[in-house]
Amino acid sequence: MTPGENGPSTPEDDDPFGYLYADGQARGAQPPSGGYGYPNSVSRVRTVGERQYGQPQPQYGVPQQQGAYGHQPNAHYQAPETLPGGAPTTRQSPLPAPARRGPNTKGLLIGAIAVVAAVVIGIGVSMLTGNDDKKTGNQAGNTPSQSQSHAPSPSASNSAASGSMQSDASALQPAGGAAKASDVKGANSSDGSYVTGLNTPGASVTWTVNAPSDGPYTLFVYYSATGGDQSMTVAVNGTPFGSKLGMKNWRQAKDGDFANGWTRSYVWPDLKQGANTISISCGAGDQCNALISKVKLKPGHVTNDS
């Protein structure tokens, strides 16, 4: 034995895997027992080049099921989907989400149409009402007969309206037996005065007034009539007016009850600019059983004295 050597060298000592080769086996090389140190492991060593016949050979392209290293596949293994409560065999597609409902466009459209219809109807009513008012005003301005007697109006007042001229009986000039008085109550003059004694042929009352311009005017006469309807003659600047001044008993006052017969009437004379003389007299064929308390003049042909 030479220095550095522990004994004769053997192939198995030189190569721990010599048992895998034919020459190693010929020299008595044996595989280690115990499965390379792993407990309970099984070593299936086969000489290189050795082939076992009669066993199925793996096919190319077909994957082979292999177990864990050193263990055989478990024959009792079952896939999770085959066990009760296991995973489903097929993949279920998720249920589609419920469709969201959009805004109620039909209801909104109906509401919008209703609003537009209400606005159109309101405009139409306003237009019709305005037209009716205009028609009423135009009809009131149409030329009636030259002399009109008017029913009692609660809007009549003693004050003069803007643009009008008026005079109480106390400022009028009676003649032909007419005279001023204030015994009868209810006269609408500012001082309660009136002209009486007109129920005599030739009796009259005269008013001198300044007209601002030439043209048509409305003369309002405030009076009281009892019993039957009355009428008197109007003259402008000495020229008789075309028709009588109607003095109807609108109050239905009994004969002689002058306190309950006060009302008004009007005519539409034409005046010249400046001073004009207007007279009311009891002419031939007139019915003059009336009292006159006030006169008023307004430009134009109107029916409202306020």
Do 21 and 158 fall within a single domain? Answer: no
> How high is the mean pLDDT of the chain?
74
From CA 267, how far away is CA 168, in angstroms rounded? Answer: 18
- Is 237 domain-assigned? yes
pLDDT at 236 over 80: yes
- Is 187 domain-assigned? yes
- Is 51 domain-assigned? no
Mean predicted confidence (pLDDT) in 87-94: 52
- Is 52 domain-assigned? no
**Eight-state DSSP code of residue 31:** P
Burial of 11 per CB tally in 10 Å (0-12, 13-18, 19+): middle
**End-to-end Cα spacing for the chain:** 162
- Is 46 domain-assigned? no
Question: Which domain does 277 fall in, by range?
Answer: 147-299
Do 295 and 155 fall within a single domain? Answer: yes
Do 160 and 282 fall within a single domain? Answer: yes
59-75 residue pLDDT tens: 554 444 444 444 444 44
- Is 109 domain-assigned? no
Q: Structural domain tally of the chain?
A: 2
From CA 135, how far away is CA 171, in angstroms rounded? Answer: 39
What CATH number is given to the structural domain containing 271? 2.60.120.260
- Please give the helix or strand (H or E) that residue 194 lies within, else none: strand 194-196
111-160 residue pLDDT tens: 788 888 887 787 776 666 554 444 333 333 333 334 455 444 433 333 33
pLDDT at 183 over 70: yes
- Is 247 domain-assigned? yes
Do 161 and 294 fall within a single domain? Answer: yes
- Is 208 domain-assigned? yes
Query: pTM here?
Result: 0.50
pLDDT at 26 over 70: yes
Do 151 and 293 fall within a single domain? Answer: yes
**Eight-state DSSP code of residue 126:** H
Instruction: Determine the pLDDT at residue 44.
Output: 53
